[in-house]
Amino acid sequence: DLATAVEESVHGIRVIKAFGRGPHVYAGFSAQAKSLQETEITKAKTLASFLLTVVAVPETILGIGLLIGIAQVANGTLSVGSLVAYFAIAAVIAGPVEGMGMLLGMTLSTKTALDRHFEVMDSINDIDSPAQPRVPAERDGSVKLEHVRFAYPDTAGSHRPILADINLEIRPGETMALVGITGSGKSTLLNLVPRLHEATAGEVLIHGQDVKDWDLQELRTEIAVAFEDTTLFSTSIRGNVLLGAPENLDEQQREALLAEALDVAQAQFAYALPEGVDTLIGEEGLSLSGGQRQRIALARAIAARPSVLVLDDPLSALDVRTEELVTERLREVLAGTTTLIVAHRPSTVMLADRVALLRDGRIDAVGSHAHLLSTNEHYRFVIASLDDEDQPATVEVSR
């Protein structure tokens, strides 16, 4: 259990950080580590006591036998030869008896390992972590980037800027699509908003406050993220979707929120699984198809009820019909949420109120889709490229 928790935390580090679940996961790890420590100590004590008994009982019996034998020899009721013969036989028998005890001790340890093996084969245990309270605050929902620069260090130690001078403002409640050619830095820019990366220069403002001045946990309860490369955890669908949900909801409200999030993401397939939304989905959600995993990740971001929603091409693995249904419902949900969405499909661009064109590390133009199509040649080129990159729909097999 502990190894699985660590592995999943490493694989899902971006999701954990994006939803502000660092302390929550660490507390769960600490509890599991303490439980493992106590179990190992108890096992060692039990095994030591057992082996001590197996070794001590024959030796004690021989010691008692020696005392009785000496008394009987002194009284003339037992000959010295008989006493020696007795101890010779006892010494021959004692070795195998002690060996059987050692073997039995090893068998107990082996049984424990076998029991654990079959537990893992039967199911993957849920990771139970303490809740993290939300910090209530009045927010206006604005997102603003002022003269933001960012560079990844290369192997030579230099810093080549990916984002040279970003100036962008997203109004409260507005949906902004971010488009650009491959490698232009769209996903990097998105990671600056929840402070998964630190801007090299400039300011990223959430609700008018620089993200560097925010408490990280509070910041990440304000922002929900859905990444293109989906990361799920080997818990139930319910646990994955409600990972970042507000903790002050009662059970009925959580169920309503779960149902709404699954409905918006067109993830109703969850109810048809063997145990419904309580079905364990396997390590990293590998029992689900790519489109199903992506819809669960989108539902997780929606269920977080954020004031700012950051989406990195959340519909890339969906077939055309499912994408249309998700798009329709997203328009309703995003109406009151400030949203920044990276678009790799023209259909995703259509979700947005305005579109920002990223070019050469700068925001080249901002406007409606229709306006940019009519006025910006590079935007027309990018949209045409998105059309070319669109792959035929993949039929998902119902599970």
pLDDT range class, residue 399, cuts 50, 70, 90: very low
**Mean pLDDT, residues 243-267 taken together:** 88
What is the per-residue pLDDT for 18? 76
**pLDDT over threshold 80, residue 16:** no
CA separation for the pair 61, 83 (Å, rounded) = 14
CA separation for the pair 396, 399 (Å, rounded) = 9
More confident residue, 102 or 258: 258
What is the per-residue pLDDT for 356? 94
Question: Taking the mean position of all CA atoms in its chain, how far away is CA 127?
Answer: 10
For 167-183, write each residue's pLDDT tens digit. Answer: 999 999 888 999 998 88
What is the per-residue pLDDT for 125? 42
**pLDDT over threshold 60, residue 357:** yes
What is the per-residue pLDDT for 135? 39
Q: Which fold has domain 143-389?
A: Rossmann fold (3.40.50)
What is the per-residue pLDDT for 143? 92
How far is the CA of 272 from the CAs of 258, 261, 276, 277, in angstroms?
Answer: 15, 16, 6, 8
pTM of the complete model = 0.61
For 325-337, write each residue's pLDDT tens digit. Answer: 887 888 787 777 8
**Mean pLDDT, residues 330-351 taken together:** 82
The fraction of the chain above a pLDDT of 70, given in percent, is 86
**pLDDT over threshold 50, residue 131:** no
Which token pair is 384? 């045409």
**Mean pLDDT, residues 229-234 taken together:** 80
For 73-114, write each residue's pLDDT tens digit. Answer: 888 888 888 888 888 888 787 777 777 767 776 676 666 666
The fraction of the chain above a pLDDT of 90, given in percent, is 18
Q: Which helix (H) or strand (E) holds 72?
A: helix 22-75
For 49-81, write each residue's pLDDT tens digit. Answer: 887 887 788 788 888 888 888 888 888 888 888
pLDDT range class, residue 374, cuts 50, 70, 90: very high
Please, are residues 18 and 194 in contact by the beta-carbon 8 Å criterion? yes
CA angle in degrees (0–180, nearest 5) for 48-50-51: 65
**pLDDT over threshold 50, residue 209:** yes
More confident residue, 244 or 378: 378
**pLDDT over threshold 90, residue 205:** yes
Q: Which helix (H) or strand (E) holds 382?
A: helix 377-389
What's the chain's average pLDDT?
Answer: 81
Which token pair is 21? 């679940």
